[in-house]
A and B are shown apart, each in its own frame.
Chain A
């Protein structure tokens, strides 16, 4: 989230698209009801299904699954043609005026630089024109045909309301009504919040779905303001913490990236991470990258990390390709991975194409599952009849189950969607032989280290040299780790003018990342978390809910990264002179001497408005990007591509139907189905009664939603002779499931380019363990293709066929 949960109460318009907050985030959704009850806010829900969010919405607009970019591209076109943008904001705070290189272009579904062999772009033409002074050129009148504004306008001119209706199947009157309401928030004192989740990410162009709405929000001037923002509703209490701490194959903590195999030294690694300002007077805060990076290495390798050995740079893994989950299981499937640690997730249910997953897992020599529950993954080798039809005698994989404690059975912090780190205390001992993840991994590490010490081995340094400063060597505490993540002073830091004055003493906790250094005198596990555990104590454990500005920000409650800032980019909540766009919901303002207000300024506090420093201080140009340069693999402007399995051809460019750079493994391409065989659009989703594949183990949750079902509209049910409560079979080109039919008015056929398209809704929560009735994984049906940028699988739009079935046993 750029903003924070409680800030949603300040909005004028909540748009839930690509998510279903009322069902998947009921506690957070309370802030929408607050906004409606106390701020006269409206709620728009755009979804293929009339969800429980839609049940309390002021306007519901149906949409065909997988066509969000067309819908939002149409909205961009609408805002531009109706001149409903926040002009001053767009001109000063975005790259609308920047001139793009003459080599850049787009035609017939492809941007310049496409290589069909590699299924990738040469992105070198996707950049700014740089002047002789080394800075990007711009045209403040926005008239230059090569400026971002004009290119954007031309790009989205194709997305007329008629075209959007043809692609999305959203009735035009509803579409225009929604766009009108959204356009009203271009007024400087009105804000719209975008609330989204997996409904946007789980597509072959998931990142671009989000990008498109981010562009809309920038055009409306809704980023950085109270009640605005791009608000990702994270699907797990600590999934924000997972990404923050770099638990992705290509990341290290704080969104630093692992070196590639071509980056053979710290110097070459940092060369491409210079972040030189692209305009005069810009902060370009990522210029501090070396400080974050070296401090991270110091926290990893302690005294072993020295300037002479590049602070242990050589000991970091170097990537040849990214090792996302789809690639990992592909490699496992090829027999190239033979041991797998599965900690805190359930891939057999969570990744696409279950048949392939089973075949991958059986290639393993050993599988270790660390989880509080006996998951399906831990039991993949058990025969559960039609629900898991495997022959255990043919599976040789050795499976180790290491029961872990649950979050309530240990101390620690959880990072929520709003970037709050909230400390929690152990409520009870875990059952049986369960141990915390920290203890299990410590045990594993100590044994490995012992083996390296006694037997030696390849590259022993990162193991033997790992900094291990904990009081109880075999049991590091959550507090000790939190202190390490915050960062501390390694060596006394003296005043540069007078070496006898010690400014920071060795061993002292850092106040924040502004104190980090690239000379090895500071250590910090995750720079964005620096400030969470200072000399003043554990900031995450704060529980002061005072809200002096009535802003919903409650600055004394827990601690938010970065530096306890609750609304990112909040300098943009003020005009060029530092006056809030919306005086009723001030976030910060220029007081004449400093930036101050309800939130921690996202800006150097003493920099005067007239200094010309732009508000988006992380970017080298200081402004937000409507045109993303080469950051996204699939284009600097989002473009509508059909899902890999789509019921119709791409109306904009039939030759380039689906995302041209999304990765498809050999063998997976062959199992995509076509609309001739599988005429219905399927989408998978969660229900409010369950949490993923966990809560089916709880009696009460199991009572509330006991049995797998599939939702179909009345028209399709009639056509197929299916009655409410009947058993139906759903087939894709990868497999089939049987479930109870819920025949509903809430899923209606959509008129897509003259063709009536039916949607089949598939909730995901059932499996072959737990207290609910046994069910089939919805991932039996889903295709093995991921988003072009971050490889999130395409669970939200694929093709199926249905037929009546005999009830499953």
Chain B
């Protein structure tokens, strides 16, 4: 959804024309302090409520994670990990969802102009009406976040409540969190605040406590305070050093001229598809064309 104004957009997928730059807002961030999280899922409920989403009432598959994975309707999910080391037990509970990377792999991978945008405050948003449902954002994401809807074949994920943030409110999850495990503010403030939490954790014997703000994606606008920052993978496989797939990097960097042709094709096919069959289906030909657009730079690179 597009909830901030076009003035706030600093980057658009598959677009080379410059972004508006007269207005620049301060970078924001959500800080999730896992040491304060009690896994109550109030954030998850608030996300459904605010975004008017309802997911299926599923089954229990032997864990507390419900639904068992992110879906097009579940944009945030509590993931529970049980660990035992030297007889000491830990139950690590991580709120999973879009990390709002400073260098977003989804946006870079997206072949559809303006389907993914980044605002000057750092939020990465999906503009659903521009989405062609190709799924490249899923491949481009180092955190495995976007999900393609079975209903409309479009990609969905957390918007960081860009609609709330645009009018000066915190995201719904932060508002609902009873233990203030989720804080929201400027990125600068959140990094500073995280340091106070890390000091507290150090004093409690967590000498590897730290902030998760991975440099491989130029940092994120959703950050974690981890008790074991040296081993983020303990937290339901949070990647230790997330990077955008080299395929995506190549597609954006090395092969830009060719890529633009691809972009044109994609847009054309997207348009043709739209006028011929309507917006809600993706045909195999679209997939193929889009695939060609992203495959070509690879061919070129291999040929070098």
On A, residues with C-beta under 8 Å from B are 22-23, 26-27, 29-30, 33, 36-37, 40, 50, 52-56, 58, 60, 688-689, 699-709, 723-726, 740-746, 748, 771-773
Contacts and interface: CB of A to CB of B under 8 A. Distances in A.
A726 B59 CA distance: 12
Contacts of B203: 40
Contact of A699 (B38, B54, B64, B180): B54
A56 B57 contact: no
Contacts of B60: 705-709, 725, 740, 742
A805 to B, nearest CB: 14
B167 interface: no
B66 A703 contact: yes
A29 B179 contact: yes
B91 interface: yes
Contacts of B140: none
9 contacts: A27-B178, A33-B179, A33-B181, A36-B200, A52-B39, A700-B45, A706-B59, A742-B60, A743-B62
Most buried by A among B45, B60, B82, B92: B60
Which bracket fits the contact residues of B? 35 or more
Contact of A33 (B36, B45, B49, B89): B36
Interface in B82-133: 82-84, 89-93
Contacts of B179: 22, 26, 29-30, 33
B120 to A, nearest CB: 32
Nearest to B179: A33
A708 B66 CA distance: 13
Contacts of A40: 200, 203
Given A26-B179, A700-B49, A55 B39 contact: yes
Given A54-B91, A771-B57, 18 more contacts: A27-B178, A29-B38, A37-B36, A50-B91, A55-B38, A58-B204, A689-B40, A700-B45, A702-B57, A703-B48, A703-B57, A703-B58, A703-B67, A706-B66, A725-B62, A740-B59, A743-B62, A772-B57
Contact of B42 (A26, A723, A741): A26
A746 B82 contact: yes
B194 to A, nearest CB: 13
A740 B63 CA distance: 10
A742 B63 CA distance: 6
B173 interface: no
Contact of A50 (B39, B40, B89, B93): B89
A468 to B, nearest CB: 43
B35 interface: yes
B275 interface: no
A703 B55 contact: yes
Given A700-B49, A706-B59, A688 B40 contact: yes
B22 interface: no
Given A30-B179, A704-B44, A742-B60, A56 B89 contact: no
Contacts of B93: 52, 55
Nearest to B36: A33
Nearest to B38: A22
A703 B59 CA distance: 9
Of the listed residues B39, B54, B58, B84, the one surrounded by the most CB atoms of chain A closer than 10 A to its CB is: B39
A703 B56 contact: yes
A745 B42 CA distance: 25
Contacts of A58: 204
B41 interface: yes
Given A27-B178, A703-B56, A706-B57, A52 B63 contact: no
A53 B179 CA distance: 12
Contacts of A723: 62
B57 A29 contact: no
Given A29-B38, A707-B59, A745-B89, A700 B48 contact: yes
Contacts of B45: 700-701, 704
A637 B290 CA distance: 78
Contacts of B56: 703
Interface string B209-242: 0000000000000000000000000000000000
Contacts of A55: 38-39, 90-93
A741 B60 CA distance: 9
Contacts of B59: 706-707, 740, 773
A34 B38 CA distance: 14
The 7 A-B residue pairs whose C-beta atoms are closest, nearest first, are: A725-B62, A724-B62, A22-B38, A707-B60, A55-B91, A26-B40, A33-B179
B37 interface: yes
A261 to B, nearest CB: 48
Nearest to A707: B60
